Amino acid sequence: MPTDVLLTHTSRGATGQYARCMASQWQTLGRRLGKIAETIVFREGPKVLRQLQGSEFVQRGLQRGLEAIGVVETEQQTAIPGRPVTNRSVPTAHRARRIEYTPDLDGRADPGEIVWTWVVYEDDPSQGKDRPVLVVGRDGTVLLGLMLSSQERHESDLDWVALGSGSWDYDGRPSWVRLDRVLDVPEEGIRREGAILDVERFTIVATHLRARFSWS
């Protein structure tokens, strides 16, 4: 066999072996990377998902996305011009006082009633949401209210206590009430009376306020 032909065959053989070796190494690397990715997903995925589910920012983003494609009805996202909004909250202990159960749907909000008002977002005061609020006191024309939420992520939060469902939520969803912050609600900012919370559930809330936040 001519020398040049022999060299050509030898060169091609070496190239083929090198290519097969590199392919095997890339396959091995791919499998290892796949296992690493799988480990990260299964170990860290649930944690990341819980963090995302617990983010009000993410929840609002999902809500807006669903509204944009028509999956859910759009909630009112702007306050009524000229009507006061609820834009101030303080630690509950700063509003400590005697708490009484005196509901009376006479047009004047009283402790034990759940009313609706526009509450601005803590992280974005330019936006807000129409929310149900449990009235627990009054300072003149300013109501002291505890915010309600139907987000299930509050179930394991010690600063929230379960209320169950009621007529204040048209969809019959269970609600939780926030204990560690009191909203200063301008009485003129109430949109509508929602409901009267029964005395048994109000007593549960009052017990927490007395035990943890120096109310009497």
Query: pLDDT (tens digit, 9 = 90+) per residue, 158-189?
Result: 999 999 999 999 899 999 999 999 999 999 88
Percent of the chain's residues with pLDDT above 90: 45
Whether residue 61 is predicted with pLDDT greater than 50 in this model: the reply is yes
Please name the residues in contact with 134: beta carbons below 8 A apart, sequence gap of 6 or more: 113, 114, 145, 146, 148, 177, 197, 202, 205
pTM equals 0.64
What is the rounded CA–CA span in Å between residue 128 and residue 120?
A: 4
- In whole angstroms, give the CA distance from residue 204 to residue 216: 13
As a whole number of angstroms, the distance between CA 201 and CA 42 comes to 40
The CATH class for the domain spanning 89-213 reads: mainly beta
User: 185 phi and psi, to 5 degrees?
Assistant: -105, 115
pLDDT in the model for residue 1: 55
- State mean pLDDT over 82-106: 87
Closest CA to 127 of 114, 118, 139: 118
Half-sphere exposure of 19 toward its Cβ, with a 13 Å CA cutoff?
A: 6
| Residues 6+ positions from 17 with CB-CB distance below 8 Å | none
State pLDDT tens for residues 149-165.
999 999 999 999 999 99
Eight-state DSSP code of residue 110: -
pLDDT at residue number 78 = 58
> Tens digits of per-residue pLDDT, 133-150?
999 999 999 999 999 999
CB 204 within 8 Å of CB 113: no
HSE-up of 125 (CA within 13 Å, CB side)? 5
Ramachandran bin of 107, using left for φ above 0, alpha for ψ from -120 to 50, beta for the remaining angles: left
